[in-house]
Amino acid sequence: MAQNRRKKNKDLSKKIAEERIILLFELAEQNFKTHPERTKRYVELARLIGMRYRVRLTRDQKRRVCKHCYDYLVPGNNCRIRLKDSMVQTTCFKCGKMSRYPYYERPEKE
């Protein structure tokens, strides 16, 4: 019986952690123009929550964070995004590092 309760608590805590991560990314997006220093803290907290509760960031969330300096990326403001050889190439202006993600062209429907 104790194990069943633990599992429910674990599931609940993971769900709460996911909600908090989503909220922190929304705050980072809202406050980027007015308080850019806060956005890095929001991303840092989201990563820490994810690691603590073993919750993965979604693909969109991962691509909004520099893998090297963990800065929140906003295309055109602090990063550059280019499409090169079936890769999405994101360059962070703060640390100068590049991240590459593959993309595949969708087959056209007839």
Complete DSSP assignment for 64-82: TB-TTT-PBP-BTTTEEEE
HSE of 79 in the Cβ direction (CA atoms, 13 Å)? 25
> Is 79 flagged in the annotation as binding?
no
Residue pair 36/63 in contact (Cβ under 8 Å)? The answer is no
Query: Which residues carry a binding-site annotation?
Result: 66, 69, 92, 95
Q: Binding-site residues for Zn(2+), please?
A: 66, 69, 92, 95
